[in-house]
Structure 1
Amino acid sequence: MARAFSAGRRGISAHLEAAERDLLRKLFADIVTMLEPATPAHTDPLAALIGLDMDVSVPRDPALLRLLPDAVKNDAEASLEFRQLTERSVRENKIAALRAASLALESEKVVLDEEAARLWASALNDVRLVLAERLEIRSEADAEKVHQVQDWSHAEDVDSYLSLVYNFVTWLQESLVQAMLSNLAARD
């Protein structure tokens, strides 16, 4: 079983079993696939440099919309304009964080420096957002219901399995954030 992230002299580290690392690799890869743009980057070098993408649209998949939400509530036109200016670079940054996190899973002991920890926190957050959408977590009551699922031997359907995965990723992210906060406190 995994040991939570903890802060140390060499950075933030955790021990993850092979099955846990494989699960995280698959989750990270699934989210990367979800985030990869359907169209190639703009052929205009300046547009590509700044991330301008006039071909974007509001994601139809609710989980992808959770990762790439509208910027302006109740204003579709302003949200689309903002999406055209930022979505490609947001996608690329998220993909980079997910790939960097996946690369750190080569050995049982995962050791992260400050930047890698930040990328991991981002990657775990994106996984949690997608899982929360798939589990239809909309309220504290929904979250509590998901957190009640604790035993892998009782995972009999997709929702109970996803609940266990969500709980594992949540626990891992919480331990990572606590370790990051410990590092910050140690510097002061």
Structure 2
Amino acid sequence: MAHRKAPFRSTRAGVQVNLDEQERDILVHLLGQLDELLDDGRPAGEVDPLEALVGMSGSPSAEPPVTPDDPALARLLPDGNRDDPEASSEYRRLTEFGLRARKREGARTAASALNRPEPVLLTGPEALSLLKAFTDVRLVLGERLELKTDEDAEALHQRLWAGEEAESWLAVASIYEVLTAWQEHLVTAVSKQKL
């Protein structure tokens, strides 16, 4: 029986992607969903160029930003200080726009690279973008799966293989498990690169 290649492998030219077309399509779809989740609904023309340059949005007189209602989005855009709502709001005002923009740009960079014709070879910056996007997608899926502790994450594998959960839960859990394995391989490949 032939062994499958590692999903990501370090080469002299970059990080080689050994995912098949369907696997890459699923990953690109997830990256697109991440991009949409991070969309704050502001048209690009409404963003002040200075705000974009320094990574902040809104003025002190504007309505203060609040913690997102969606728990998964709140994981991606955490409060700066849970004990001080005023400090947390100020932190969010100064950082949220830039954080959203960086995460969205990283997801788009990774998706664009994965959409190239085979063989797909990631540059150092593309591999790092994908690595960060893996973390973000896994945070979202982990929230959807209600993984709150390390013990919850460890129990996921057993619950998955027991097969007693709802079909939709099993599908999301399976994707989470696969992404975890892929991310581990990507970490290994990136660690061998001279970035």
Distance 1:111-1:44 versus aligned 2 partners, 3 A rule: closer
Contact 1:28 1:123 (C-alpha < 8 Å) held by counterparts: yes
Give how far 1:141 is off: 2.5
Q: Does 1:105 align with 2:108?
A: no
TM-score calculated relative to the size of structure 1 = 0.87
Aligned to 1:47: 51
Cα deviations by residue, 1:101-132 (Å, 9 ceiling, x for unpaired): 10112234331121111111011111000000
2: CA distance between counterparts of 1:49 and 1:113? 25
Aligned to 2:99: 90
Distance 1:24-1:43 versus aligned 2 partners, 3 A rule: closer
Aligned to 1:80: 89
Structure 2 counterpart SS, 1:57: coil
Distance 1:36-1:125 versus aligned 2 partners, 3 A rule: same
Decide which of 179, 182, 185 is 1:172's aligned counterpart: 182
Give how far 1:181 is off: 1.5
2: CA distance between counterparts of 1:125 and 1:135? 15
Distance 1:154-1:110 versus aligned 2 partners, 3 A rule: farther
Q: Which runs of 5+ in 1 are unaligned?
A: none
1: CA distance between counterparts of 2:156 and 2:118? 28
Which amino acid in structure 2 is aligned with residue 101 of structure 1?
Answer: A
Q: Does 1:27 align with 2:30?
A: yes
Q: Does 1:17 align with 2:20?
A: yes
Contact 2:6 2:185 (C-alpha < 8 Å) held by counterparts: no
Give how far 1:180 is off: 1.4
Which amino acid in structure 2 is aligned with residue 111 of structure 1?
Answer: L
2: CA distance between counterparts of 1:147 and 1:175? 18
Distance 1:179-1:155 versus aligned 2 partners, 3 A rule: farther
Structure 1 counterpart SS, 2:80: coil
Decide which of 6, 31, 41 is 2:9's aligned counterpart: 6
2: CA distance between counterparts of 1:183 and 1:49? 30
User: What are the equivalent positions in structure 2 for 1:123-142 lying under 5 Å apart?
Assistant: 123-142=133-152
Number of matched residues? 184
Distance 1:120-1:75 versus aligned 2 partners, 3 A rule: same
Contact 2:15 2:189 (C-alpha < 8 Å) held by counterparts: yes
Contact 1:2 1:20 (C-alpha < 8 Å) held by counterparts: no
Structure 2 counterpart SS, 1:30: helix
Aligned-residue RMSD, C-alpha: 2.4
Distance 1:45-1:18 versus aligned 2 partners, 3 A rule: closer
Contact 2:76 2:139 (C-alpha < 8 Å) held by counterparts: yes
